[in-house]
C-alpha cells in the first residue's frame, strides 16, 4: 500500500499528475458497442451528443476471432469521430478492455493508450478481484501515458463480477487515485457466486416473499389459500454495498447490464431502483435503452420543484420548517441539494432538460 504522502504522485517519471478529485461528469448511460461490428460502428457518429458515454467493448460479447478487429476498430472510431472523448467532449469515450488474465489485455492497453489516450476518458477493467488488479493497471497506464506524452491521467472503472471482488470492494475503490467508479456485472457475479439465475441482471420471479396464510375459525393456518407474493430485488444488497463503498471513496456507482432488451418496462424499474439507491448511471446495451437511462437518471421536474422549495424555505440551512405538512431540516436540505446539484450538472449538457428545469424559475417558492 502506498503512503498517504505518495498516493497522489505519478507512478512513472513524466506521467500526468493524478487527480485529487474525480470530476462529476454526467454519465447516465454508458452505451456499449462492438467496434468490430460495422453496423454498430456506423451508428457511433450520430450517437455523439445524444448519449453521455460511448464505450467500445473489447471483452465479453466480442468473439475471440474479432478481438484484434474490435481493438483496431476502436482506434479508427476514436480518431475519426468529432466530439467524442476528451475533457471538453459532451460524449465521453470509454473502453472495456479484456480481463487481466486473458491473452488480450496487455495489447489492449499498449495499443489504445499511445493511439487514442488523449481521447479515452475511462478504462473499464472487468472481473477485478482486488487492489492488486487496479495497481497493475495503474502502473502500466502511468508508463504508457509518460511514453505517449499525455497531459491528463486516464481514469479506471472496475466491474464487480466475482465474490472476491465484492469482498475486497473497499480496497478496490481506494487502490488508486485513478478510480472513477464501479459497475455491477450481474451475469459474471451470479455465476461466480453460484446463484441460480440465468438472467443478465433484473429480477427473478422465484425470489419473493409471500403474504402470511389466513387463519380459519379453528385457528389453523390455511397455507393453500391464495396469497399475494411480492417479487424481491436479487441485486439490492450488492448495489447498496457498491453505493456505500463508492460514496466513502468519492467515486461513482453504476448499475450494469439489463439483458432483456425487449422488456423496456422492467428495465426502467431496475434502472430506477439503482438511481434511487444512489447510482449515477447504468449500462445501455441497445439504442433503445439510452432514452430509458437518460430519463431515469435525470431528476424529474417534480423532484427539482420540491427540492428548490425546500432550499428556499430553509434560508441559512439550519433549523426546522414545515412545508406541505412535512418537516424539513438541515438533513433533508442536504438530500435536496443532491438533486439540485445533479440537475445543474445535467442541464449544462442537456438543453432539453435545461429548458424543463428553467421553466421552474418563475414559480413561487
Ligand X SMILES: CC(C)(COP(=O)(O)OP(=O)(O)OC[C@H]1O[C@@H](n2cnc3c(N)ncnc32)[C@H](O)[C@@H]1OP(=O)(O)O)[C@@H](O)C(=O)NCCC(=O)NCCSC(=O)C[C@H](O)C(=O)O
Pick out residues in 139-178 that bind Mg ion (CB under 5 A): 161
Which of the listed partners (ligand X, Mg ion, none) does 286 bind, with a CB threshold of 5 to 8 Å by partner kind?
A: ligand X
Pick out residues in 165-194 that bind ligand X (CB under 6 A): 185-188
CB-nearer residue toward Mg ion: 121 or 188: 188
Tell me, residue by residue from 37 to 56, as one string, x for binding to ligand X by CB under 6 A and - for no binding: --xx--x-------------
CB-based contact 257:200 (threshold 8 Å): yes
Alpha-carbon span 2 to 138, nearest angstrom:
12
CA triple 304-310-315, angle to 5 deg: 130
CB-based contact 305:279 (threshold 8 Å): no
* 3 state SS of 361: coil
CB-nearer residue toward ligand X: 204 or 305: 204
Tell me, residue by residue from 17 to 36, as one string, x for binding to ligand X by CB under 6 A and - for no binding: ---------------xxx--
CB-based contact 182:204 (threshold 8 Å): no
CB-nearer residue toward ligand X: 153 or 186: 186
Q: Residues binding ligand X: what is the number (CB under 6 A)? A: 21
Task: List C-alpha distances in Å: 113 to 71, 91, 242.
Answer: 11, 19, 28
Alpha-carbon span 32 to 11, nearest angstrom:
30
Which of the listed partners (Mg ion, ligand X, none) does 196 bind, with a CB threshold of 5 to 8 Å by partner kind?
A: none
CB 124 → ligand X: shortest distance, Å? 10
**Site for Mg ion contains 185 (CB under 5 A):** yes
Among 69, 146, 200, 291, binds ligand X (CB under 6 A): 200
**Site for ligand X contains 257 (CB under 6 A):** yes
Among 34, 188, 233, 328, binds Mg ion (CB under 5 A): 188
Radius of gyration of the chain (CA): 23
Stretch that binds ligand X, among 57-65, 99-107, 302-310, 353-361 (CB under 6 A): 57-65
CB-nearer residue toward ligand X: 137 or 187: 187
Q: Residues binding Mg ion: what is the number (CB under 5 A)? A: 3
Cell of 179: 478510480
CB-nearer residue toward ligand X: 73 or 256: 256
CB 97 → Mg ion: shortest distance, Å? 12
CB-based contact 18:87 (threshold 8 Å): no
Alpha-carbon span 71 to 65, nearest angstrom:
12
CB 328 → Mg ion: shortest distance, Å? 42
| Strand ranges, E, within 155-245 | 155-160, 179-184, 208-210, 229-231
CB-based contact 178:153 (threshold 8 Å): yes
Number of CB atoms found within 10 A of residue 168's CB: 20
Chain residues binding ligand X by CB under 6 A are: 32-34, 39-40, 43, 57, 60-61, 161, 185-188, 200, 256-257, 261, 285-287
Amino acid at each position: 500500500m502506498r503512503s498517504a504522502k505518495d498516493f497522489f504522485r505519478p507512478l512513472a517519471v513524466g506521467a500526468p499528475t493524478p487527480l485529487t478529485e474525480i470530476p462529476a461528469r454526467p454519465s447516465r448511460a454508458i452505451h456499449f458497442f462492438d467496434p468490430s461490428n460495422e453496423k454498430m460502428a456506423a451508428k457511433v457518429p450520430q450517437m455523439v451528443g445524444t448519449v453521455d458515454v460511448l464505450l467500445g467493448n473489447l471483452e465479453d460479447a466480442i468473439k475471440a476471432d474479432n478481438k484484434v478487429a474490435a481493438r483496431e476498430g476502436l482506434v479508427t472510431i476514436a480518431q475519426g469521430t468529432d466530439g467524442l472523448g476528451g475533457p471538453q467532449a459532451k460524449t465521453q469515450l470509454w473502453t472495456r478492455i479484456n480481463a487481466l488474465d486473458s491473452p488480450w489485455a496487455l495489447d489492449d492497453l499498449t495499443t489504445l493508450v499511445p493511439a487514442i489516450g488523449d481521447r479515452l476518458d475511462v478504462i473499464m477493467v472487468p472481473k477485478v478481484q482486488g487492489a492488486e488488479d487496479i495497481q497493475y493497471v495503474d502502473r502500466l497506464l502511468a508508463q504508457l501515458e509518460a511514453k505517449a506524452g499525455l497531459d491528463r491521467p486516464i481514469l479506471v472503472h472496475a466491474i464487480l463480477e466475482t465474490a472476491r471482488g465484492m469482498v475486497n470492494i473497499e480496497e478496490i475503490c481506494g487502490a488508486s487515485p485513478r478510480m472513477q467508479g464501479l459497475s455491477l456485472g450481474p451475469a459474471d457475479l451470479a455465476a461466480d457466486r453460484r446463484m441460480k439465475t440465468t438472467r443478465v441482471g433484473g429480477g427473478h420471479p422465484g425470489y419473493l416473499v409471500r403474504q402470511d396464510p389466513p387463519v380459519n375459525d379453528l385457528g389453523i393456518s390455511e397455507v393453500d389459500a391464495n396469497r399475494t407474493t411480492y417479487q424481491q430485488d436479487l441485486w439490492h444488497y450488492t448495489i447498496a454495498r457498491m453505493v456505500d463503498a463508492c460514496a466513502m471513496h468519492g467515486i461513482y456507482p453504476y448499475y450494469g447490464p439489463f439483458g432483456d432488451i425487449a422488456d423496456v418496462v422492467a428495465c426502467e424499474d431496475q434502472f430506477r431502483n439503482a438511481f434511487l439507491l444512489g447510482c449515477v448511471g447504468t449500462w445501455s446495451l441497445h439504442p433503445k435503452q439510452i432514452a430509458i437511462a437518460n430519463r431515469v437518471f435525470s431528476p424529474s421536474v417534480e423532484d427539482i420543484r420540491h427540492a428548490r422549495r425546500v432550499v428556499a424555505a430553509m434560508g441559512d440551512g439550519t433549523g426546522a420548517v414545515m412545508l406541505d405538512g412535512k418537516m424539513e431540516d438541515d438533513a433533508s436540505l442536504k438530500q435536496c441539494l443532491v438533486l439540485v446539484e445533479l440537475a445543474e450538472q445535467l442541464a449544462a449538457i442537456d438543453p432539453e432538460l435545461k429548458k424543463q428545469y428553467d421553466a421552474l424559475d418563475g414559480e413561487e417558492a
